[in-house]
Amino acid sequence: MFDDLRRHLGLAAAALLCLAASGLAQAHPHGWIDLRMRLVVDDEGRLTGLHQSWLMDPFYSLVVLEELGQAGGEDGLEAALDQLGGEIRDNLVPHGYYTELRLGDDKLTFDPVNDYTVLERGGRVEFIFLLPLADPQPLAGRTLSYQVFDPTYYIEMVHEDDDGAPAEASLRVGGELDCETRIHQPSPDPELVMRAAMLDVDDEAEPGLGRHFAETGEVTCR
């Protein structure tokens, strides 16, 4: 997906000039995604998957929607968005969908994503998908944590906010379990912040840089 984002940014020369003028092109990250997460829980109280919504930033959305509108042809924008959804899904597969999930000390694995869609919401591109667990896990009496991040920190991924704080809808738990949710903000080392600030739009970041800037969602169920 983010290879696709870089491609769109590279094609939008005028937009890049605007980025450079604003200073946004001088440092990582170069865009952001507003994240919503819903834990999918079955009737037995087992976590079966993560339903995620990624709302792209307005600049990226503008570039993509304009390009898709020009390339949509007779099939129109909806068909072009459907095709984009498949490209995004395929690009995410080798990277574990940029999602790390732990239950206690155990790292959980995922099955392939088959349910996904791309929509236009309020002038922004939204990618919605269901990330199924390879093995459903009971949640009662346990603590789950996750991070969603671009390892290169080219894109910053943050929970959708409401007046500067994570919105209530940005982390929810389905089913009937009694769960407490929290979103922890990152505290990256100042040296890492400086390194990220020195990376230009074409620079390659060190592997795993994005992890240090990632929010952590936490869910404890009784």
**Which of 110, 60, 121, 116 is CA-nearest to residue 87?**
116
pLDDT of residue 173: 97
pLDDT tens for each residue of 178-196: 999 999 999 999 999 998 8
The residue range of the domain holding 154 is 2-221
The structural domain count of the chain equals 1
pLDDT tens for each residue of 78-91: 889 999 999 999 99
Do residues 59 and 31 lie in contact, with contact meaning Cβ atoms separated by under 8 Å?
yes
pLDDT tens for each residue of 99-138: 999 999 999 999 999 999 999 999 999 999 999 999 999 9
Residue 209 DSSP SS3: helix
Q: Which two tokens stand for residue 148?
A: 């969603």
State phi, psi for 201 to the nearest 5 degrees: -60, -30
Distance CA 177, CA 186 (A): 28
Distance CA 180, CA 194 (A): 35
Is-cis flag, bond preceding 29, omega within 30? yes
